[in-house]
Amino acid sequence: MATFYILLGAPGAGKGTQAKNLSAALKLPHISSGEIFRENIAAGTELGKAVNEYISRGDLVPDDITNAMIRERLGREDCAEGAILDGFPRTMAQAQALAHDLHELDSHVSAVLSIDVPEDVLVSRLSGRWMCREKGHVYHDVLNPPCEPGVCDTDGSELYQREDDKPETVAARIQVYLSQTAPLIEHFEELGLLHRVNGDQEIEVVTESLQRAIAERKP
């Protein structure tokens, strides 16, 4: 049976960082809705044009656009054994669409991992974040610096700062998380799928906690 894991957490909680580690450890593709949108914006596709304004404001992209994009991605061959979902679902309608799509694929959500981090830590993490252009590897100029400034350790591509990491947009994204995404924690808890992990620890310690939660999940 394929295994699909959801990483839930506020902007800056470490979803992308941890998804990369789990993807390598579990040999499952890392699917980040935010990364797919950013790739489309950079490539100037129709999808990129449709979502750019929402993302620059820190708002959520409408559910119909997001759900269609994820449905297409989950249908690809590399998801046959499952995937690590980073940043999706983010609304109740998306959670319902995901359950439906996985059911169509004869599967279901295996576990939901909520990465909990205090708000002041989120803000300082996002203000120092750098991302690689090639694969979205994540760094921080103080907390998690690359060996050579401006260059990705893994693939040598250029590092850049995200347009939506400006302080006013970060504040908007955190508010959107609290009002629209945080209610999913209770939803997945009721389904018996939720595991909470303290994200305010060293990156490797958080990865170990997530792996323990996955190992302890009910079959």
**Rule CB under 5 A: which residues touch Mg ion?**
16
* Apex 38 CA angle, 6 and 45, nearest 5: 120
Give yes or no for a contact between 80 and 2, defined as CB atoms under 8 angstroms apart.
yes
Please report how close the Cβ of residue 153 comes to Mg ion at its closest, in angstroms: 18
Residues found near ligand AP5 in the complex (CB under 6 A): 9, 11-17, 33-34, 37, 54-55, 58-61, 66, 87-88, 90, 94, 125-126, 128-129, 138-140, 143-144, 164, 173, 199, 203, 206
Please report how close the Cβ of residue 89 comes to Mg ion at its closest, in angstroms: 15
The H-or-E segment that residue 198 falls in is: strand 194-198
66 binds, among Mg ion, ligand AP5, none (CB under 5 to 8 A by kind): ligand AP5
The H-or-E segment that residue 194 falls in is: strand 194-198
Cα→Cα distances 216→51, 136, 209, Å: 38, 29, 11
61 binds, among Mg ion, ligand AP5, none (CB under 5 to 8 A by kind): ligand AP5
Q: Which is nearer to ligand AP5, 1 or 187 (CB)?
A: 187
Please report how close the Cβ of residue 36 comes to ligand AP5 at its closest, in angstroms: 8
Buried b or exposed e, range 103-112, using 16+ CB within 10 angstroms: eeeebebbbb
12 binds, among Mg ion, ligand AP5, none (CB under 5 to 8 A by kind): ligand AP5
Q: Which is nearer to ligand AP5, 106 or 120 (CB)?
A: 120
Question: Which CB contacts under 8 angstroms, 24+ apart, belong to 64-68?
Answer: 66/33, 66/90, 66/94, 67/93, 67/94, 67/97, 67/98, 67/101
Catalytic residue among 20, 38, 125, 129: 129
State yes or no: is 218 an active-site residue.
no
Please report how close the Cβ of residue 81 comes to ligand AP5 at its closest, in angstroms: 22
State yes or no: is 129 an active-site residue.
yes
Q: Which is nearer to ligand AP5, 13 or 111 (CB)?
A: 13
State yes or no: is 73 an active-site residue.
no
* Residues with active-site annotation: 15, 90, 129, 162, 173
